[in-house]
Structure 1
């Protein structure tokens, strides 16, 4: 609760936290708008595939882009502006850098940047949740062994949910469910970049003028992004993924405690202690009242069973906490999140406290590629949000047992056999090379197997 004071102290001492941003897209740009006005944070450099795009991002977020650009990393380190480069490795290796932010969205790039950051003694804030779900538990372990912080990105929903889970457990409550809201109907799993704007009520021309990427937005709609975010939360908190994948029950904020309780108690959960996403739409397409489309939530209960928990349950009602009809299950929610505008919290927590705003502690959940349509041998998969596959949440042990193909690797790879619509794809269904994303994922699977064996 005193990060701002710590940052001001660092600024007064002339020791601002030096930050390197990789990826100047929407999330990165939102961070750029706030780091400029945050005492104690110094943006030392931006790496992007296009220096011109990075410069445009500075200009769009209130910087004097011409005056802000430094001539060298040395000048940037001393406070003489921001170094722009297309060489992400050079930024990570730059002398004096404290924290690396990966906001690329590429699993391969995220793995590469994380390994380089750990090698060079930099803390890592992984905005790139695709990379985190592909191999985050292994990467986080590498940072921990190096005495460094690997963190999920505050402002994005997984880190905000992790914070709510941590709050509940620190209060002595038992977490029953945690997750977020989204717009969902079962038909959305088949959505493609050609149909996505119809579901959002936009014309393609409007989306293009706004610079909205159809495949990226389709990932949010077809269920893939929800699965990725819930997997990240499960791996960070110890909550379980539903055995059959996300159910997306329609639910308003006022009904969270009633809907998201175990089936044995009248709710939709297989058991207590799970991640789940609630839909802002009823199954017939009507809007859910008091929906949580942009927000996050936690459902919890007193750890004491029976009469011993009665006092806490009475307090829930006395202080206006939303509860189910029995009074046993309670919920809190946050109605919105500010994405990259909040990212400085993660940077400051890593550099000043040595703490992550959420980080994977085990491989508990995975996201597998699932066929959107009948696929034929010889076709090339186009990955998250595309025309061929969507991402299905699975428990890690089930994914490994089936040899499921991670959604993060289902891009640019060729099918070697037919796959039926709705089927989970496997490693054996594709011809896949051994790039950094594949090798890091395989290393993570070996690491997880070793950790499981050691725990026996």
Structure 2
């Protein structure tokens, strides 16, 4: 609990942490709004495919025009300003300590992470899609290079990892951990054309708000939840359910009751799992005490003494007193990202990191698909991402959702089926495909031995 002090010391010494941001969309803009308020952080360069749009976002979040008026990276570093460019390679200047990758594009995220690691820069991977596609291998490459690869604090996976780590550091076993979301089974079939009705909006309202239908559909159709739970599994060792998340309706008052082993009255096949809870009952009624925006962890009191302490100090437990829960009702997304930047730069410690390949988010057909169709990827109308164990994904040769965009189907796929990599025409020369296959090859003997 000393990051603010360390940042203040760097500011006082005239050596703020230098940062390069790739992608100035919603998450990136939220971080930039806060970075401008921290003298210990200097965002020296912002790379975005649309610099004009990036500048519009900077104006919207309250940046003064002169703050982003630098005409070069040298100018920015010399004067404490920011250079806005469409050239992501400029972020890999050796004077930049931390690269924040927030494009949301898995192929681009992997490419940018590899470039940063090669340049001996710390990586804060906001792009959880890229992290789930090949994060364990990226983390290993960063460690070999002597730099830190980290999840993004403020996003739910990193917050869950922090909660799990804290509970384990106490000596308590974690039984389940995850997040809340709005979920009904019918949402798996949602498309960018139908998504706004599920949010209670008209297409016109959504367009006026600048809302991206494919991105919002990913949150609704279960894909984003699956990606995030796979990331948590890879970072913590908690396991995904064998055939995907159950999304049980659950309020915070029922966390230790529902998220306990099936043999003891809960829904878990075993102890130590990731799961997402729904803010809607299956009949669409709002769950009482829902955790739609938050994160949780359920843990176990293994002895009579520990359980008595739970009782004495008002810890929220199930009726037996054996299982207890902690939760956080919301997350602040990019407003919290400076915690990751400070942690990797000043303590050389990630705020969550993929350690091993344990979970995957695999492309699953929303409808019957025909050979020759081009997949439209995460949040699209054709596939959604299902969270399954990495061992099952590897055995099936499953197609990760991060590679399910812009590729041609080679055969017909029935509705509800998990797609295989052999079902599509992948370009083995692409960095994302190459790195994914490298990770699979390294994981194969390890997963086979488990």
TM-score between the two structures when normalised by the length of structure 2? 0.98
The match for 1:133 is 132
Cα distance between partner residues in 2 of 1:331 and 1:229: 20
Q: Superposition pairs for residues 297-308 of structure 1, below 5 Å?
A: 297-302=296-301, 304=302
- Determine helix, strand or coil for the equivalent of 2:79: coil
Deviations 1:56-99 (A, max 9, x none): 1211111112453211111222234101111111222x241000
The match for 1:447 is 442
Cα distance between partner residues in 1 of 2:264 and 2:64: 58
Q: Contact 1:177/1:275 (CA < 8 Å) preserved in 2?
A: yes
- Determine helix, strand or coil for the equivalent of 1:333: strand
Q: Is 1:7–2:7 an aligned residue pair?
A: yes
- Determine helix, strand or coil for the equivalent of 1:244: coil
The match for 2:42 is 42
Q: Is 1:386–2:380 an aligned residue pair?
A: yes
The match for 1:353 is 347
- Determine helix, strand or coil for the equivalent of 2:250: coil
Q: Is 1:78–2:78 an aligned residue pair?
A: yes
Deviations 1:306-364 (A, max 9, x none): xxx11111111221111001100000000000000000000000000000000001000
The one of 400, 405, 411 aligned to 1:411: 405
- Determine helix, strand or coil for the equivalent of 2:384: strand
Cα distance between partner residues in 1 of 2:323 and 2:67: 55
- Report the alpha carbon displacement of residue 53 of structure 1 after superposing the two structures with TM: 1.3
Cα distance between partner residues in 1 of 2:268 and 2:67: 55
Cα distance between partner residues in 1 of 2:422 and 2:119: 36
Cα distance between partner residues in 2 of 1:270 and 1:451: 23
Q: Superposition pairs for residues 80-229 of structure 1, below 5 Å?
A: 80-92=80-92, 94-229=93-228
The match for 1:53 is 53
Cα distance between partner residues in 1 of 2:94 and 2:357: 33
The match for 2:394 is 400
- Determine helix, strand or coil for the equivalent of 1:63: coil
Cα distance between partner residues in 2 of 1:451 and 1:84: 44
Deviations 1:214-249 (A, max 9, x none): 000000000000000000000000000101110000
The match for 1:362 is 356
Cα distance between partner residues in 2 of 1:65 and 1:178: 43
Q: Contact 1:197/1:203 (CA < 8 Å) preserved in 2?
A: yes
Cα distance between partner residues in 1 of 2:53 and 2:253: 43
Q: Superposition pairs for residues 330-341 of structure 1, below 5 Å?
A: 330-341=324-335
The one of 421, 430, 440 aligned to 2:424: 430
Q: Contact 1:23/1:104 (CA < 8 Å) preserved in 2?
A: yes
TM-score between the two structures when normalised by the length of structure 1? 0.97
Cα distance between partner residues in 1 of 2:393 and 2:252: 32
Q: Contact 2:42/2:80 (CA < 8 Å) preserved in 1?
A: no
Deviations 1:274-309 (A, max 9, x none): 00000000001000000000000000013x3xxxx1
Cα distance between partner residues in 2 of 1:328 and 1:69: 58
The count of aligned residue pairs is: 449
Q: Is 1:371–2:370 an aligned residue pair?
A: no
Q: Contact 1:246/1:277 (CA < 8 Å) preserved in 2?
A: yes
The match for 1:23 is 23
User: Unmatched 5+ residue regions in structure 1?
Assistant: none
- Report the alpha carbon displacement of residue 446 of structure 1 after superposing the two structures with TM: 1.8
Q: Which moved more, 1:368-377 or 1:431-440?
A: 431-440
The runs of 4+ residues in structure 1 deviating greater than 4 Å are 450-453
The one of 307, 315, 339 aligned to 1:321: 315
Provide the alpha-carbon RMSD of the alignment: 1.1
